[in-house]
Amino acid sequence: MHRDAPHPPSPSMRADPPADLAVAGMLAGAEGPHQLAERIAAVNRELARWDSNGALAHWEPGPGLDPRAGAALKDYLAACLALPGWAEPARIARAESLFMDMSMLSCTLLFCASLPECYVLPDLSAVLHAAGQLEAHTDYRVRSTAAMIFPVMLAGGLTGREGAGVAQALKVRLIHATIRHLILRGSPDDSLGAGPVRPLLPAGGGIYHTLYAHGWDTARNGLPCNQEELAYTLLTFHYVFLRSLRKLGLGLERQDEEDYLHAWNVLGHMLGIERSLMPDTMAQAQQAFLDIQARGRELARAPDPRPALAAALMRAMEDEIPLRLFKPFPTLLTRHLCGRDASADLGLNRRQPLLSRLVFTAGLGLVRAVDALVRLAVPGFSISRMLTRAFGYRLVTRFLMDQTRPLRLPDALLGRLNDALGQWRHDPRAPRWLNRLEARLAGHRAPPAAGAGADADKRAA
């Protein structure tokens, strides 16, 4: 490279130009937090009509939307709707199959690995903290995350016209750009050469007023929801998930791991993440993950929002465990999956009751040993899988299947999701007796298996 050639800005100083341009047009003419909140609410009513991938190609703004916002959204769809040329449908389909096979287990790993690791970056936690005081509304974070993950990973979520993964991803991409616009009170490009955005007293209640008044120092903290933070968040949902499977003795074959990374990288593209920041192998993912965490730890914050976010998440899980002895298990499992450094960042390294620690450690070792031995005769056998599935079912029931608070998804997609959750109550890879034990631990009646449990029993015999 020529000595005088300009260096590109670091990923922490890069945002998402197509989405930022769309939001600038979407909010054009809206001045101050009240008008911005009204315009965003009007746009959200329109985005509710983005209910499937196929619907996006022919979407037209309703008559009540400001014409500037409607034009900006149409231009956004025209620029961002297509999957990347490097997307491979067969690999995406394999990843969908793997996700369906993991089912309830994936929910446990979401709570005990992906979300905690997401909180480790100080600046990312600061944005999450500002976005509605999330330690007081843990279920909101979990439910909004599920509202993106499930549409993407259900069959055809990214590749089918009837799927809704692309539609959900493009909505989330706009949410990130809207957060940037509100916190910076303008475009990211304008903030790069300006001084800090000073905090204000909120002019009203609600998330939009909170973000607008928050204040931000771009020179010190980078842009909010920047490329590095977006890439890191993606890593927490594919790399951390796969790493956690390995730590539980449930690791996938190398090709399956890379297919899973690939599908999520396609999602990353739809979310506006630069291709150069997305890994193709677990080794690349591990290095990127460690590098970003190391840089993030250099940016100490006072007060630190991370322990409060993590504590709220742990309490939400503890509330689903009836026996006092086992209540520390979510924290202990999170420490096992995330490691010592991340646990310290999150304030999860406090001493837990001795008996609970002994039972957890001994139980983890015993389960790994039994699984390894029995799998010599029954390849699909896993007590570790059963236990994490049972806990995952309790979490799903509490946060995702509450009929009084259905997920904010299109009706057709919600029906597909409920059907999938119903199927996940039975593990086709486990013998019938293990399914019955899982049902007792999960607090539901084991559904009749359509031959799968009987086949597993025959293999066990």
d(CA 166, CA 259): 18
Could you tell me the two tokens for 355? Answer: 């008996």
- Residue 314 tokens, joined: 């742990």
% of the chain at pLDDT higher than 90? 58
b/e sequence 72-88, b meaning 16+ C-beta within 10 Å: bbeebbeebeebeeebe
CA distances from 360 to 116, 315, 324, 438 (A): 19, 18, 13, 18
Alpha-carbon distance of 105 to 131, in angstroms, equals 28
So what's the pLDDT on residue 329? Answer: 95
375-424: pLDDT as tens digits: 888 877 889 988 888 888 888 777 776 666 666 677 777 777 777 777 77
Q: Give me the amino acid identity at 278.
A: M
- Separation between Cα atoms, residue 195 and residue 216, nearest integer Å: 9
Peptide bond into 18 cis (omega under 30): no
In angstroms, the CA 263 to CA 367 distance is 31
pLDDT at 437: 87
Torsion angle of C-alpha atoms 367, 369, 372, 378, degrees rounded to 10: -60
Contact 332, 357 (CB under 8 A): yes
371 vs 182, residue with greater confidence: 182
pLDDT band for position 105 (cuts 50, 70, 90): confident
* Tens digit of each residue's pLDDT (9 = 90 or more) over 256-269: 999 999 999 999 99
Q: Is 127 helix (H, G, I), strand (E, B) or coil?
A: helix
Most confident of 186-190, 239-243, 398-402: 239-243
Chain-centroid distance, C-alpha 243: 15
Going by pLDDT thresholds of 50, 70 and 90, the confidence category of residue 324 is very high
Please state which of the ranges 194-208, 218-232, 355-369 shows the lowest mean pLDDT: 194-208
C-beta of residue 348 within 8 angstroms of C-beta of residue 331? yes
Tokens of 225: 């929801």
Segment 410-432, tens digit of pLDDT: 777 777 777 777 777 888 888 88
Q: Which helix (H) or strand (E) holds 342?
A: helix 340-345
Q: What is the pLDDT of residue 35?
A: 95
Does the pLDDT of residue 323 top 60, yes or no? yes
Residues recorded for the chain: 461
User: What pLDDT, in 10s, does the model give residues 129-178?
Assistant: 665 555 456 766 777 787 788 889 989 999 999 999 999 999 999 999 99
d(CA 258, CA 284): 11
Mean pLDDT of 345-353: 93
Across the range 332-340, mean pLDDT stands at 97
Distance CA 36, CA 212 (A): 9
* Segment 283-308 mean pLDDT: 88
Mean pLDDT within 52-81: 95
| SS3 call for 216 | strand
- How far apart are the two ends of the chain, measured CA to CA in Å? 66
CA-to-CA distance for 45 and 26, rounded, in angstroms?
A: 13
Please give the share of the chain, as a percent, with pLDDT higher than 70. Answer: 88
Segment 324-329 mean pLDDT: 94
pLDDT of residue 114: 95
pLDDT at 372 over 60: yes
d(CA 106, CA 453): 21
User: Model confidence at 210, in pLDDT bands (50, 70, 90)?
Assistant: confident
Residue (of 354, 376, 375, 357) closest to 365 by Cα position: 357
Q: Where do the DSSP E strands lie in 309-450?
A: none
Structure tokens at 302: 């006072």
Distance CA 282, CA 451 (A): 36
Query: Of 170, 81, 265, 444, which Cα lies nearest the Cα of 178?
Result: 170
Report residue 294's pLDDT band, with 50, 70 and 90 as the boundaries: very high
pLDDT reading at 459 higher than 50: no
Q: Which helix (H) or strand (E) holds 318?
A: helix 306-318
Q: Domain residue spans in the chain?
A: 13-297, 326-460
DSSP designation for 137? -
Query: Of 136 and 298, which is predicted with more confidence?
Result: 298
